[in-house]
Structure 1
Amino acid sequence: MRKTRNWDTTAMFLILEGIAYTMVLNLNNPFTQMFAKRMGGNDLHTALINALPPLTAIFLLLPAGILIERLNKKKQTVIILLSVISLFYASIAFVPMIPHEGKVMIFVILIGLMNGPGALYLTTWQSYYADNFQGSYASRLYTVRSKYSAFFGLLTVLVTGLLLTNIPKTDAERLILYQIFYGTCFALTIIQILFFSSVNKVRTTGTVGINVLPPKNGHAGGDAEGSEQKGGNSEGGRAIEVEPEDGKTRDSEREGGRAIEVEREDGNSEDGRAIEVEPKDSKPKDSKTKERICLFRKEDFAGLLKNKRFLLFCLCGIVFHMAWQMAWPLFFIYYTDHAHLNELQIRLINLASGLTQFLSFSLWNKVIEKKGGSLVIIFGAAGLAVTPFVFTFQVGFPLIIMQNLFAGVFQAAFNVTLFLCLLETLPPGKKTVYIAVFNTLTSLTGFAAPLIGLRILNMTNIHIAMAIAGAFRVTGTLMYLIRWLKERKRALPVSPGAAGEKLAG
């Protein structure tokens, strides 16, 4: 296994893009609810900030995901979506200047709408990654990307916490600093676009680091599918293989006995199918062009209901995400209304969680390589299931810090393996659609769960609400355990006797 220092420029730019993305998230996500509260927001606004973003994704992800899969311009789509997101950040920076009390709702609406391109960015990026990186290399690269993203996210949390503590003296001054944060998010998103734009400057020389395409048979060891590319990355006159099973395609034509290569940006044909190498006088196959007018086609979902691995993973995801997201507004309400924490203390909580995430990524990567992501995700879910039970008692700031140090370790495991386990269930050629389906389902839970959590809180109290959320998280963890047992059973080799009995039957 090759070390990180030998990785190519593709890995470097993907890691840098992930760092910029995480810094943006850490500049605005922890303060989104506090930003609304400083402008006069209440508990309803807090719940809506958690519920509206996934509601936007519910209506947008699936149709847009199908369209993106057909157009197969994933890299360009990611860049366009990031550009739209940057405009949202610029707009939110000016919301406090609105001389009307409705500015809080305007802010909430902008946050909700921004998740449309935000969710599409994540889905398209994941599909682009799944198309171009396989096997242990994909797992290793994604883990290292997450590790360094967590580290720079940690620095972002520390710097913003210090700024909020030492500079503003009033709520008005804090709002100005929040505006500066959103302006910085705009600038960092532009930088993120530049990094991602440079990703395609890979394999142009054929000698940089690790080649990321899988071998001809499309399989490799490790927890995810695929492996490293074999051969064919030299310049000029080299043979390029067409690999339809994983969606990575190289077009080759002959002109005057000389091989001419065309490398597509996303490694796919325009309609998502592999391109056949034809003689020069062959006519292009465009008989199905007119079918693209219809948005939803049966072919887009062919095999989805028969893919038991994907369906089981979706079921586990729905149950756990419902419980996970149910507690999100409860944590904020507890921090501000019960523990009476300020911005610095909330930042220190995020800092504690980010620190242990960063320190534990390498450990989880080793466990994933040895035991597989399907087992590690159980540990991650179990650790997250414990955290709400801490708040069934009245706890202060020191214990909250300890709880977040503990939760960060398992948050890292869950964040990494959730995507890697999803990759295992994706069929070649329909990855964007499948990812969009999964993200739509988790967006449904993201819309309903915070409102359910707030409803339970209004019917009971914060301690009972936390206990109920924890119980649901335990149920979700058991679902992942059942999935792992099924995956383990499926992976067991069939004995010759059993195989003979099946043939005889």
Structure 2
Amino acid sequence: MKQTTNEKLSIYNGIASTISTNTVNGFIPLFAIGVLGATNQQMGLITSLPSIIGMLALVPGAMWLNRVGSKRNFAALSTFATRFLFMLIFFIPFLPIENPVWLLVILIALVNFPGALSGLSWQSMIGDMIPEKRRGDFFSSRNRITTIVAMIMTFLTGFFIQQFDRENAFPYQILLAFGFIFAIIEVYFLFKHKEKRREKPAVVESNIKKPTLKVYKHKPYLYFICCALFFNFAAQMGWSIFSIYHVREAEATALWFSLFSVTNQIAQIISIKWWARHADKYGNTMMLVIVSAGMATAPILTVLSTNLVYITAINFWIGLFVSGMNLLLFNQLLNASPEKDRTNYIANYNFLLSFIGFFAPQFGVFLLNQFGMFSAMSITSVVRFMAGILFLVVAITFEKRSLKLLPKSI
């Protein structure tokens, strides 16, 4: 009975969380540039700073979590702190400060500290509550529901913001308040979960450790980490540039931003099974070659036109490869990490990935400031294509498997 109750509560919690986070999150670039007048540098920081702050939270977070009596309470309180900090963006337009966008940069960064604790504690809590044999079916159902809710909310909020002037902060403030109401509902359903309280919290050594040379002695992991970090750098260096292009060059409105997001999500949903099926047939690394090639086309195709219908179609095209990127990188990480002490290998990867998440967007903004939009996008495409070549070299040289013919179409 407890299991069924927790699954229902988790779905309700997921719906409330999705509504809370999707009311404004996807429109932060529009708010930052259109309302507050953010510069390219500030947009880069909004994208990159959260990675470092989230990384700094993981080590103390793991230690705290191992010592608390209730993972549920820890998850609920850290989630509330995350949503509360984000809601403070509501007050920025009222403040009599010369450059309010810096306050936005700071708040977006700080949100990721309790946000990382929230994610870590929720994963640990739900892992204890949902039996391993149920996780596949349960999480696929939960993710499908929350994805549908996310698409609906993204479209509706984009349509709402569209009714106001581009420089008007009022619609964002309304949505921030609306999102915080659902954040309270989200926390309420977290507290309603049934858990077996630990009378004596176990003192467990944290799995979140700094990178050590020991993990790199395992060659499959070493090859993977070199490819994956380079690929993530190539992918993430374009994040800020895309947002700036959509707002400044294409002059996309909130409604168009919502359409970009919805079409991207639809593409991910319809393509995920294709990637899984072909990864089983040809291997994760070989399929990552295709993902890298597809991701390489995105920047150069985007910059060819400012037509918003065209950009919407490009976002659908990008989504086809984003789903493959998320699935294949995680699967290959598990394959490349030895079963013994696997959590430490994964933690090392995430630790290094946080640095990539900070430096890559900053490098992209540097290219934009130095060479202009078209050159920055072109360089991003080239670097992403190089990541594909690196995956191909690893697949041919190091994996020692016979190469089969790749599928004729994707």
The TM tier, using the shorter chain, reads 0.7 to 0.9
Map of 1:102 onto structure 2: 99
1:87 aligned partner, one-letter code = F
TM-score (norm. length: structure 1):
0.67
In the other structure, the counterpart of 2:113 is: 116
Tell whether 2:42 aligns with 1:45.
yes
My pick for the range that moved more, 354-363 or 462-471, is 354-363
Q: Does 1:462 align with 2:394?
A: no
Q: Which ranges in structure 2 are unaligned for 5 or more consecutive residues?
A: 402-410
Structure 1 residues 20, 92: CA separation in 2 closer, same or farther (over 3 Å shift)? same
Does the alignment pair 1:55 with 2:49? Answer: no
* Residue aligning to 2:204: 272
Aligned 1:481-500 pairs, distance under 5 A? 481=392
**In the alignment, is the contact (CA less than 8 A) between 1:57 and 1:440 conserved in 2?**
no
Larger Rg: 1
Answering whether residue 310 of structure 2 is matched by residue 399 of structure 1, we say: yes
1:90 matched residue in structure 2: 87
- How far off its partner does 1:329 sit? 1.1
3-state SS of 2:349 partner: helix
Larger helix share, 1 or 2: 2
Aligned to 2:62: 65
Cα offset for 1:150? Answer: 2.1
Matches within 5 A, 1:308-457: 308-364=219-275, 379-423=290-334, 425=337, 431=343, 434-457=345-368
Aligned to 1:249: none
TM-superposed CA distance for 1:100, in Å, is 2.0
What's the CA shift for 1:15? 4.3
Whole-angstrom distance in 1 between the partners of 2:399 and 2:6: 33
1:189 is the counterpart of 2:183:
yes
**Residue pair 1:374, 1:484 contacting (<8 A) in 2 also:** yes
Task: Show the counterpart of 1:474.
Answer: 385
Shift, 1:189, TM fit = 2.7
Distance 1:161 1:477, change over 3 A: same
Higher mean C-alpha displacement, 376-385 vs 44-53: 376-385
Q: Report if aligned partners of 1:54, 1:443 keep a CA contact under 8 Å in 2.
A: yes
Q: CA–CA distance in 2 between the matches of 1:146 and 1:375?
A: 27
Q: Give the Cα–Cα distance (whole angstroms) in 2 for the partners of residues 430 and 67 of structure 1.
A: 21
Partner of 1:34: 30
- 1:144 Cα deviation after fit: 4.0
Identity across matched positions, percent = 27
C-alpha change, 1:169 and 1:296, in structure 2 (3 Å) is closer
Return 69-78 or 29-38, whichever deviates more.
69-78
**TM superposition shift of 1:465:** 0.9
SS in 1 for 2:24: helix
CA distance in 2, matches of 1:144, 1:484: 34
> What letter matches 1:188 in structure 2?
F
RMSD: 3.9
**C-alpha contact 1:379 1:413 (8 A) present in aligned 2:** no
Name the SS for the 2:251 alignment partner.
coil
The 3 A distance-change label for structure 1 pair 451 and 188 is same
Q: 1:354 to 1:36 in 2, by over 3 A?
A: same
Q: CA deviation at 1:460?
A: 1.2
Shift of 1:145: 3.5
Preserved contact between residue 69 and residue 430 of structure 1 (Cα < 8 Å): no
CA drift of 1:85 comes to: 0.3
What secondary structure, in the 3-state scheme, does the structure 2 residue paired with 1:171 have?
Answer: coil
Deviation by residue 1:55-103 (Cα, 9 ceiling, x = unmatched): 3224333343355456696444332321210211221222211122232
Count of aligned pairs between the two proteins: 398
What is the CA–CA distance in structure 1 between the aligned matches of 2:212 and 2:55, rounded to whole Å?
17
Change (3 A) 1:15 1:355: same
- Once the two structures are TM-superposed, the CA of residue 401 in structure 1 deviates from its matched residue by 1.2
Instruction: Tell me: CA distance 1:126–1:395, structure 2 relative to 1, closer, same or farther (3 Å).
Output: same
For 2:66 and 2:190, the matched residues in 1 are separated by 19
C-alpha spacing 1:296/1:422, structure 2 compared with 1 (3 Å): closer
The one-letter amino acid of 2:27's match is F
CA apart distance, 1:160: 0.7
Local SS of the residue matching 1:341:
coil
Quick check: 1:327–1:450 contact (8 Å CA) kept in 2?
Answer: yes
Deviation at 1:17, TM superposition (A): 3.8
Distance change (3 Å), C-alpha of 1:359 and 1:460: same
Give CA deviations for 1:374-402 in whole Å, capped at 9, x if unaligned. Answer: 66655544432321121353442222111
Partner AA of 2:362 in structure 1: L
**Cα deviation code 1:118-152 (max 9, x no counterpart):** 23333444455667778785455444443332221
Unaligned stretches of 5+ residues in structure 1? 1-6, 202-262, 274-291, 491-505
Residue 23 of structure 2 aligns to a residue in which SS?
Answer: helix
Given that 1:71 and 1:271 are in contact with CA atoms closer than 8 Å, whether structure 2 keeps it comes out as no
Question: Aligned AA for 2:204?
Answer: G
8 A Cα contact 1:323 1:472, kept in partner:
yes
Amino acid at match of 2:97: H
1:174-221: CA deviations, max 9, x gaps? x111112222332333333344445546xxxxxxxxxxxxxxxxxxxx
Distance in 1 separating the partners of 2:338 and 2:23: 33
